[in-house]
Amino acid sequence: MNEQVARNVVLARAIEHADVGHTVLSDDDRKYATRSARELAAWQAADSHTAVNQQHFLQQRAEQILKRLGERTPAFGAFQRRAPGMRGIWFALPFIAFVLGAALDRIADPHRVDLLSAPLLIIIAWNLLVYLGLLVWAVVPAARKKKSGAPLLRRLSVGKAVAPRKLPTALAEGVAHFLADWAVLSEPLTRARLSRTVHLAAAGFALGAVASLYARGLLTQYVTGWESTFLDAQQVHTLLSWLFTPALTVFPFLQGFTLAEIEQLRFGGSAGLPVGERWVHLYGATLLLLVIIPRVLLAIVAGLRARHLSRHFPLDLDQPYYRKLADSIGTSAPAVLRVIPYTYTLDEPRDRGLWAIAASALGGQARVQLLPSVAYGIEPKDALRETMLNEAGITVTTVLFSLAATPEKENHGALLDYLVKHVPRGVAVLLDESALLERIGDQVGAERAAERHSLWRQFCSFHGTSAHVVNLLEPDKYPLELGAGLTLPELR
């Protein structure tokens, strides 16, 4: 699916997750959207003589939901139609860079060509350092782990990350969740666009400097020379020889220079000479070869990547929300809920409750893969030695704890840390309250369970997971509707 479709789908998901009480989207609204999308996807498949496509179904369903919400709440309709992010900057930045480059000669004397021109040398040196940094980033894996500029990327992705006013509470919360989710999901696309724009801006800045050199040369007679406190003519000749070698190699019609000519052009000795044409050509050709062409090529590469990501947005359709919707039209294999109990053995009623929860969260065809219970105090790598944690086909991996237990960093925390590190799709935690309520009673247990849940939620958040209370003896008590409770990291 393309970027716009993915945006609509993620927005609809965020609203459904936030609208727990079904105050802005009733049951009838959701059923109607699903039924209409199923029919539209079937017609589209019939027209193209293909099977029903999950992406088409999600697209149609999201459009139905957002259209209905937009009709009911004009402020939301305006938000939905708003262009995401700060698109103007992609066009404005290269233009501004060109103008600044064209004004570069105002920094120095506009009536002379300095062979050791600091602005031009800085442009070339900076770009060479950038190429070196890009090479290191591409070759050294450790260099890619550090990511910077997250606030900037977020602003470029979603613009002003504030929900519109005059929205119902659930809808405002959904929009807020969407803005947070979209900033993460669209980061690769935003990085590609930012990279393209920065490369174009660098090329535009250099092109502006070259254009300024030639434009002023039409109306001004440049006086050419150089001066330095620390460099002599031999050193300047060596520096310029290295600098202009690419231009002299690629463009053999350009005129070279000798040590005697460099000595003659020194300011303060004999005066500078009006021979600027040769040096303008040399600097122009050097900027073209070392800055403009490489930056344009890098911008093309980044632009192609951005276009690919925009047309094929990397939305993880194996998330529980999408898997359950796909299950309703039979477009995917049954989802699999892998459960790792910790010092907890399930009896038959609780096992049935677990299957019911899986069906509620992941669809009626969902299956449960129940692993042997991990014994207390056993090292996670020993307990899970024979478990393939990156097994294909596993939709969600969960750890099952009893809410009656007290979380311990060296035991429960160690298991969560190990799983978070080794399970690519992330881990969710299920906290079964049934044993606690059986032991201390429902009335007293409800208050105790709330305290325990708060404790576990903080504990799991610290270890990079999310905690969800369930009751295996009453699986409908805490429904994980549309996978809303099983939040996992998005694949990027």
Q: Is the domain of 271 the same as that of 326?
A: no
Q: Does residue 491 fall inside a structural domain?
A: no
Same domain assignment for residues 385 and 469: yes
Q: What percent of the chain has pLDDT over 70?
A: 88
The pLDDT of residue 367 is 87
What local confidence, expressed as pLDDT, does residue 147 receive?
Answer: 52
**Looking at the structure, do residues 41 and 130 belong to the same domain, yes or no?**
no
Q: Which residue range is the domain that position 400 belongs to?
A: 320-483
Dihedral of the CA atoms 289, 210, 252, 237 (nearest 10)?
Answer: -90
* Claim to verify: residue 258 and residue 398 sit in the same structural domain: no
Q: In terms of domains, do 47 and 149 share one?
A: no
The set of residues, in sequence order, having a beta carbon less than 8 Å from that of 15 and lying 6+ positions away, is 24, 25, 65, 69, 170, 171, 174, 175, 178
Q: Is residue 222 part of a domain?
A: yes
User: Where a domain ends, among 57, 81, 105?
Assistant: 81
Euclidean distance between the first and final Cα of the chain, in Å? 15
Please indicate, yes or no, if residue 217 is contained in any of the structural domains: yes
The residue among 293, 311, 329 that closes a domain is 311
Is 112 or 101 the better-scoring residue by pLDDT? 101
CATH number for the domain that contains residue 332: 3.40.50.300
Question: Is residue 65 located within the same domain as residue 143?
Answer: no
**Residue 87 pLDDT > 80, yes or no?**
no
Where does residue 332 fall: left (phi above 0), alpha (psi -120 to 50 degrees), or beta otherwise? beta
Is residue 41, in this structure, part of any structural domain at all? Answer: yes
Triad 152, 153, 159: Cα angle to 5°: 80
Same domain, 39 and 160: no
Express each pLDDT in 274-331 by its tens digit: 567 888 889 899 999 999 999 999 999 999 999 999 999 988 887 778 877 777 666 5
Domain boundary among 24, 57, 81: 81
Residue range 393-409: mean pLDDT, rounded: 87
pLDDT of residue 106: 59
What's residue 317's pLDDT?
80
Residue 491 banded pLDDT, cuts 50, 70, 90 = very low
Same domain, 135 and 267: yes
Tell me the per-residue pLDDT of 92-102, one tens digit each, with 9 for 90 and over.
899 999 999 88
Whether pLDDT at 71 is above 70: yes
pTM of the model: 0.76
Please tell me whether residues 142 and 212 are part of one structural domain. yes
* CB-based contact 69:24 (threshold 8 Å): yes
Report how far residue 106's alpha carbon sits from residue 266's, in angstroms, rounded to the nearest whole number.
Answer: 22
Angle at 378 between CA 377 and CA 381, to 5 degrees: 140
Angstrom distance (rounded) from CA 73 to CA 81:
13
Do 274 and 353 lie in one domain? The reply is no
For residues 151 and 297, state if they share a domain.
yes
Which pLDDT belongs to residue 482?
A: 44
Token pair 């050791």 in the structure block, residue: 116
Structure confidence at residue 483 (pLDDT): 46
The answer to whether position 489 is within a domain reads: no
Averaged confidence pLDDT in the chain: 83
- Looking at residue 489, what is its pLDDT? 47
Position 230 in a domain: yes
- Residue 44 pLDDT greater than 80, yes or no: no
> How does pLDDT run across 16-31, given as a tens digit for each residue?
888 888 888 888 888 8
Neighbour count for residue 183 (Cβ, 10 Å): 20
Judgement on whether residues 141 and 50 belong to the same structural domain of the protein: no
Domain count, the chain: 3
Phi and psi, residue 186, nearest 5°? -90, 5
What confidence tens digit (pLDDT) does each residue in 224-272 have? 787 877 888 899 899 999 999 999 999 988 888 888 888 888 875 554 4
Burial of 251: CB neighbours in 10 Å, binned 0-12, 13-18, 19+? middle
Least confident range of 23-37, 42-56, 115-129, 136-150: 136-150
